[in-house]
Structure 1
Amino acid sequence: MKDERGLYYHPHAGDSLSRVYVRRGPDGEVEFRLWSADHPEVWERHPWLSLSVVQNAARFYKEERNRNADPLKLYDLVVARALLAEDEA
């Protein structure tokens, strides 16, 4: 899907209040940015992030804060690449 912020997908089925936006960064790597209707400040506080940055942050989060959580479930590289390919076609 696409809106004024760019290409996005819903990370949780049935939840239209959260979106993960995707784009190609300057180096061609896929980048992600989270938006939430419940927490619009997240968009302002967090910049575009590459998957490697997301993976490092998720590892830190699991080790330091919540071993049971998996923040990587939000960031789907397969879906992101499919959206980008469709948009570029």
Structure 2
Amino acid sequence: VPLVVAAAVGAGVNPVTAALASTAAAGFCHTLPSSAKPVALFADVPDTPTYTPRDLLRLSAFLAPLSAALVLVFALAVWPLLGV
């Protein structure tokens, strides 16, 4: 977040909005099995079929545009109403 805030100030963007957007985007952690602890824990369960990295890639391809759109809606519509 400190790097995002510094870059936002340099770019003339509201640093609070940039910090909130980068924090929301950081929650997108299911692209690889090593991205998040629960994903890593359940990626390889003995004697149980689980998901593959390809499954995670397909899920990410579906969710990434939705996540980006949601962050954009909040950054442009909701956060300004809250005074950010």
TM range (shorter): 0.3 to 0.5
Structure-1-length-normalised TM-score: 0.31
Structure-2-length-normalised TM-score: 0.32
Higher strand share: 1
Higher helix share: 2
Q: Which has the larger radius of gyration?
A: 2
